[in-house]
Chains A and B, each alone.
Chain A
Amino acid sequence: MNIEVVVFGVSFVVALGSSIAMLFAKNAVHVALFLVAAQVALALTFLLQGAYFIAAVQIIVYAGAIMVLFLFVVMLLGVDRREALIEPLSGQRTIAVGLGALLAAEIVYVAVKGTEFVIGGRGEDALVTINEDPGNVKALARALFSDYLLPFEATSVLLVVAIVGVMVLARRMGHEGFLRETTEDEGSEGAETDAEVPA
């Protein structure tokens, strides 16, 4: 058996398994950890398909930075909170699962039957050649700084906007800080805040 098939099988099982586990994990921290597992497994599939740089970035940025941020916020808001098992919205679960299954079936059908519609490419061998010369990172950099320069610059603007926006959103409002006791004690809220929240 080909080692690549083995690697794919492992990553397939891990990715799908931890995704499904995310659905059933009650604790937000567990959900985050399953997501990290799924992302690492996905990084493996990226490697298998010759996207070396993306695989590395996937681990560093996603599984590293972003997930740490998620965990941080989960911890900040309280890990103890558990969701109730009862679904308050009637029909929501039925729609989600039913249509989700239908959507999955459709996507898989297209994935299996529809690859012939991928047209205009130079074939898998071309990517192999590129990865050998000039190499995956260089090829990516060339594309990024020539054909995709404008979107690249736009993302830098996007990041600045995001940073400023976050600062506006998260800054302290008056005496109200988000570091105050958050778990219980609704009564300690200022009257001022109560007035701002309509019932």
Chain B
Amino acid sequence: MTSVSPEYFLALAGLMFTIGVVGALTRRNAIVIFMFIELMLNAVNLAFVTFSRMHGTVDGQVVVFFVLVVAAAEVVVGLAIIISIFRRRRSANVDDVNLLKW
């Protein structure tokens, strides 16, 4: 096992998560936003793996496994939604989809 203390891994996870948040909020392309969400999921995965190490059990890794599965399903469905939106709107810009308002 590594001699690098877990705080560094957690800090890395936190920073990457925040970058994902900022990206998801500032970019307008739906696919790009989606990729930032994937980045956030990955950052959380890192945190889980680190906790798994700190606890000395594999449970954290099991959670990561589930996150992977859910992420796969989510990506498939999300991309299908993006495509169907694109079919209607000829655009992947999320700002173009703003009908649901006052």
Contact = CB atoms under 8 A, between A and B. Distances in A.
A20 B22 CA distance: 10
A20 to B, nearest CB: 6
Interface string B10-50: 11111111111111011111011011101100100110011
Contact of B75 (A48, A66, A89): A66
Contacts of A165: 77, 80
Interface residues of B, number: 78
Contacts of A61: 68, 72
A139 to B, nearest CB: 5
B60 to A, nearest CB: 8
Is the contact region of chain A dominated by helix, strand, or loop, or is it mixed?
helix
Interface string B75-88: 11101111110111
A191 interface: no
Contact of B8 (A12, A70, A140, A186): A12
Interface size class of A (residues with CB under 8 A): 35 or more
A106 to B, nearest CB: 8
A162 B19 contact: no
A89 B83 CA distance: 24
Given A28-B29, A49-B53, A170-B80, A42 B46 contact: yes
Contacts of B93: 83
A112 B102 CA distance: 44
B39 A46 contact: no
Nearest to A107: B14
B21 A103 contact: yes
Given A4-B2, A49-B49, A73-B83, A124 B16 contact: no
A144 B62 contact: yes
Given A23-B19, A166-B76, A48 B65 contact: no
26 contacts: A12-B8, A22-B19, A23-B26, A38-B39, A42-B46, A46-B49, A51-B49, A51-B52, A54-B45, A74-B31, A83-B29, A96-B22, A97-B22, A107-B10, A110-B14, A112-B7, A127-B53, A128-B1, A136-B61, A144-B62, A151-B66, A152-B66, A158-B69, A159-B72, A169-B80, A176-B87
Interface of B: 1-4, 6-23, 25-29, 31-32, 34-36, 38-39, 42, 45-46, 49-59, 61-62, 64-66, 68-77, 79-84, 86-90, 92-93, 95, 99
